[in-house]
Structure formats: C-alpha cells, structure tokens
Amino acid sequence: MDLKKIIKQIQNSIDQSASTDFKKYSSRLLNLLEEVDSKNLSDVQKLKLQTSISSYLENIKTEKEVKRGLKKLKHALINKLGFVTSDYYLTLGIGIGVAIGTSLGVSFGIPFENGIVYGPMVGVSIGIIGGLIVGKIMDKKKEEENMVLKNL
C-alpha cells in the first residue's frame, strides 16, 4: 500500500475515533509518516519501507495496533533505512567521550601526586569536547544526506 493511502486511512480513523489515546498515538504515527513522505527517498527505499510496514498499518482499528504500527515503523526507519533523530551522534559521541575520557584520565593521572583527582576531570573534559566535535560532524553529514527525522 502506498504511503499516501496509509496517511489518508489513518486520518480517517482519527476522525472517526472517540478514544483520546487512540487519537494521540495515531497523530504521532501520522506526523511521522508525513515527515517520511516529505523526504526525497529513492524508489528502492520507499518500496523497502512500504513492504516492511504495510501489513501493520493497513487495518488499524485499536490503540494496541497503532502502538505496534508506530513501533514497527520506527524500527524500520532506524534499522533498515538508516534514519536518525536530530543530534543523535552528538549525544552518542558525548557519552562515549565521557567514558573514554574518564578511563584515560585515571590511567594518566595515577603517576602524579594529585593526578587521581585531576586526571579524570581533565580526561572527561577532553572526552566531552572530542565527542562533541565528532558527533556534530557526523550529525551534519546525516543532515546533508537528508536522513534526520524530527518526529522519530
């Protein structure tokens, strides 16, 4: 089923439903589908996405089915097509930088008198800065590839 048809079907089900939870999850799903539809995906990517999620999104009638469809859509977008959230690599880089910086700071600080105190602080600072720089570069690359989704 085409993405535009799925979007129209979900809009109709939102209009017909009385449940607030169903409307909430359906509108999240709808926003994500509209954002994906606005991206310039290749035909192969669109076909891969449609085949992986169409069985979950064709006959949505309950809140449980909407949640399952939203979960499967997010999984397909991240794992099969390579989409990321905004600042994904920035947060990943900072976390890895803190971990590596702390361990290196402790390791290099041990030989010095107050190095066990100051080593981790310096290491964490350097790790955060390094992770921030690398993360920003990778986020910028994904942004240029048009592979960042705000509603993910």
Residue 148's φ and ψ, nearest 5 degrees, are: -110, 130
pLDDT higher than 70, residue 1 = no
Helix axes 43-57, 63-75, angle to 10 degrees: 160
Q: Which amino acid, residue 57?
A: L
pLDDT in tens, 86-107: 999 999 999 999 999 999 999 9
pTM of the model: 0.80
Once rounded to an integer, what is the mean pLDDT over residues 22-46?
88
